[in-house]
Every structure is written in C-alpha cells, then in structure tokens.
Structure 1
C-alpha cells in the first residue's frame, strides 16, 4: 500500500510540473498578435490624399506622373476607379486619390480623375483641321442642293460648290458620303457640302483628293483667290509656294487642297 501511494504522489508531481511548464507558451502568442496589430493601421484610419500632375509614362498598371512643382511619383492603378476618359494616356492631366503617404516605390491609387485627356484633345484638333463628313442615302439632288437621309435624320445641303465624285451619277437612292461645313440642324442657312462621293466611286483616285473649282479672282506665284459660282460661299484663298505660276485672272482652275475650306488661307497641294 505504501508503494502505491508513492507512485500516485509521483504522478501528481509530474502532472503538476507539466502544467506549470505550459503556461508561459500561452501568454507569448497574444502579446505578439497585439504588437502586429498596433504596427499596421487599418486602411480606414489612413488619411485620404491627392496627387495632381501630368502623365509621363504608362507601363502596364503603373502610371508615372509629375506635379507642377516637379515632384515625380509612381502609382499602381490596377484597382483604381478611373473617370473622365476610358483610359489613362501619356500627357493626360490627372488627379490621383491615395491613402497615407506616397511610397518611395509605387503607391496604390484608389481613384484617378482624368481632367484633360491628351488623346481626346489631339482627336478634337485633328477634327478641326478637316471638314466634317456624314454618310447616308440620297433622297434628292440637283445642281444647287442635295438631301441625304442618315441614321440620325434627313438633312439638306447647299451643293453649289461641292466636288462631285461618282461613276453612275448623284441621284435618289444612291448611298453617298457628304463632306460639309456648317450646322446640320440649320436648314435655313443650310450646311455647305464641299464634297459628295457616291458609293460606286469610293475607291477611285479622285475620292482620295479634296478639290475646289472656280474662276481666278486674284493670283501670284504663291497664292490664288478663286471665285465660285455660289454667291454666298465664294472667294476662297489658297497658298502654295510657286504653285500658281501661269494662272491668270479669269481662268477656271481646280485646286487640290488639304485641311478645311473654313481656314482663312487654305493649303494647296496641287492644281489641275
């Protein structure tokens, strides 16, 4: 009996030692977790900040921009909400929202507002340098006017000075593209057709040229003023170095040009 008592006592001591040795392990883990939580503030605790500037480069989802004072920063825009244009491009004027401080490497952007799109500006400028064009089906046409039915509506154009490019005639039922200047919605002061190209002549060499025909009102080697048959849209001035030698006042001339007929002086690229 004495031996059994000692054995039980020994077991109890052993169990007690084991229980004591496990206590320090239980207290270490919570201390470590608390320290980590304190060193990494929650996202909602970070201050919202903005960075304004112009885009220097776009590489994948990384955008590099420079501010007005010359500070350059890189932003990851993979998760950012982009507004103002469909995509970010070099030269864009933008403002980026981010949280906390700017990283020395790459900062995560929360949103990007494209204030000015360089691509959109370039497109607008290019459009300003050309007369507008619209396609549809001709409803009626004569020497003075052409009426075109399009997906957006039916419009009548002043066609007196229009270059006419066609194989089988400009007539009702034929599909055509009309280049013009003026306001489509103003049917009192009708938009002016500068070129009419029917579908059957769309691939012709003439369809690749922009021309205006009239009589020479004034001329020297480097410029010519031509008077068209439309009294309301007349006296167009073209410039071209040495291009107009041999022309005289009163001659009928066709000038090949580029750009828009609404320019004060239009660039001529040929004469025929």
Structure 2
C-alpha cells in the first residue's frame, strides 16, 4: 500500500485501555495511527513502538482533548505525517463515581470538560477534516441506559456523547462520512478496576449473560468494524457492546 492510499486513524486516549487496543487493531488493519494522549507519554510511546515493530506506522501526540488548539495540532500532525484523516476513534474520557447529593461541583466541571467539551472539540475537528469515506467513532457507556446509583455525573456526560453522535451523523449528510458511538458495558480496563473491590467486580461481571467482563479487544473489534468498509451502512447509531447486559 502506498503512502497516498494508506488510511489514517486518529485515536484519542490511545495510551491505555480501550484506546490502546483500538490503536493496535486499526494498525493491524493497515492504518497509520496517531496515538493521542494526555499525560501517559511513556505508554503512548510504547503503543507506537508496538505498531512500528509490527511493520506499521504511528506517532504519539500529546493533546488535551478539551483544548481546541491542541486538538487541531494533533489533526495537523496526521495530515502532515500521513497525508490526511480517515478515521477518528475518540476514546479519551474520565469517570468519577459518587452519589449526586455529595458530588463536588468542581469535579463535575472537570468531568464535563473532558467528556462533553472534549468530545465536542474532537468531533468538530473530525467533521472538518475527515476525508470522503471517513468514520468518526465515539466511546460512550451502557450506563446511560442502566441508571445505576453513583453513575449520575458520568452517565450524564456520556448521554451528551450519544446525543451529539445522532445529530452530527445527520449534519454530515452528503459527505459520505459515518458517525457512530460504541457503548461498552463493564470492561476490564484500569479505569474500570480503579477503586473497586473484588466483590463489586464479580457482581458487575455476572450481569451479562456471558458472565464475564468485556475486554478492550471486544470493544476495539466493534470500533474496527465501524472504521472499515464492512461498517459503511451503519450510521448515526449508538451500539451497545456489553455482552447482553439489559
């Protein structure tokens, strides 16, 4: 595949968790990848090294997703290094779980800055820059539907992601660009395990009929499907990849 024909992906939150797995999967599918990260430089560089060791091309770029100038520069890097942008997988996000009655509003502002403003900023650049045949895939959460206690602020921020996904897909009419969200259930990432005891982990794993946690690879497979040629007829959807959790 020549430089000009290589598809190019920008993956935010690409240094760990679902984002890291998406980097690996999209690179394995032949894409050049921009690994966006906020603070985990070493892990982002490890992701790049893994891609290049497998014969692929990747570069790590630090960007606060809520900073429009930093995000624009990340997309600039994709265009300068690899020739354009065909796929954006927006996996960057924060999760804080506490009852609403006790929730610190400064923490709420920080959560929404990343999960709502950050999603808007990344989606705005994607809408401006994705080439014909492109795909924007945003990461949401099945907790928007499940309404579990302590998830209120986080689920509210991801509800905004769902709404933006549905509307932007329709705003891009005529562009041949798809916009979808992937909505994982409990998934075995560092973010999921943080602050949870073993009993809670086992209870959440048992919710799905498959009786296990999802894996980052499970979610990255859905991202890859939506990013590829076989997913072109899926547009304006929120896909719950949660093992059957109702």
TM bin, normalised by shorter chain, reads under 0.3
State the TM-score, normalized to the length of structure 2: 0.21
Tell me which protein shows more helix as a share of its residues: 2
Tell me which protein shows more strand as a share of its residues: 1
Structure exhibiting the larger radius of gyration computed from Cα positions = 1
State the TM-score, normalized to the length of structure 1: 0.19
Q: Which has the higher contact order (CA 8 A, sep 6+)?
A: 2
